[in-house]
Amino acid sequence: MTEFLNIAAPAMIILGALLTASNLGARITGSGFIAFTLGSLLWLAIGLLSGPSSLVWQNVILTLLNAFGIWRWLGRQRQLEKGGEGAAAASEEQPGESLFPASALSGGEIVDGSGHSLGKAVDAMIGCTSGRIAYVVIAEGGVGGFGEVLHRVDWREIRKDEEGFACMLDDKAFRSLPKIERDHWPAR
């Protein structure tokens, strides 16, 4: 039993760290806190079976903190996302322009007209007075931020549809856009 716990506890903590660090939305981040909770419960069991009392108390506290993370991401944040999704769906049936939640843009995949992935939206610049999106920064390639290339794409080149976000530029035109530095984006 102790051998199983000594393998499962760190495995759950590693899984929890991977899921939360990925920041892929409320469901994935919330799942990371579930893994963290299972890991802290397993470490608590190790502490109760053979460890020092400090290991027990540390994991009692971590279990409570992880429960807060579950509520925060699978409770509150997921409900907020549902609110935005519901408003977007309802706007489709109302006269006027359709809406989408701004949170859907950040981290959203951007595809070209043929459905080929160009990259992920990392942020957007929005006019202070107009409230209009001026441009989107799209990260192309890389893993976890390493080796990625950032491009500025004018919002007029982006379309939102049922599937997500599409760029009206083809792959070649997108890749020929000037690269921007992580810490120095254009003012316009």
Q: Which tens digits make up the pLDDT trace of 29-83?
A: 999 999 999 999 999 999 999 878 999 999 999 999 999 999 998 988 889 888 9
The tokens of 165 are what?
Answer: 């976000």
* Whether residue 112 is found in the same domain as residue 151: yes
One domain for residues 84 and 7: yes
The verdict on 82 and 106 lying in the same domain is: no
CA atoms within 13 A on the CB side of 15: 17
Q: What is the pLDDT of residues 81-115, one digit of tens each?
A: 889 888 988 988 989 888 888 888 888 889 998 88
Is residue 165 included in any domain, yes or no? yes
112 and 174 housed in the same domain: yes
DSSP line for the chain: -HHHHHHHHHHHHHHHHHHHHHT--HHHHHHHHHHHHHHHHHHHHHHHHHS-HHHHHHHHHHHHHHHHHHIIIIIIHHHHHHHHHHHHHHHTTSSS-----HHHHTT-EEE-TTS-EEEEEEEEEE-TTT--EEEEEEEES-BTTBT-EEEEEEGGGEEE-SS-EEESS-HHHHHTSPEEBTTB----
Q: Quick one: tokens of 71?
A: 């509520």
Buried b (16+ CB within 10 A) or exposed e, 151-162: bbbeeebbeeee
Contact between residue 45 and residue 5 where contact means Cβ atoms under 8 Å apart:
yes
What's the number of domains the chain is made of?
A: 2
Nearest to 154 by CA among 127, 181, 172, 128: 127
pTM (global) more than 0.85: no
pLDDT at 89: 87
Residue 164 lies in domain = 102-180
Question: The CATH number of the domain where 115 resides is what?
Answer: 2.30.30.240
Asked if residue 188 belongs to a domain, the reply is: no
Q: Can you give the pLDDT at residue 156?
A: 94
- Whether the per-residue pLDDT at 144 is higher than 80: the answer is no
The whole-number pLDDT of residue 145 equals 74
Which pLDDT band holds residue 25 (cuts at 50, 70, 90)?
A: confident
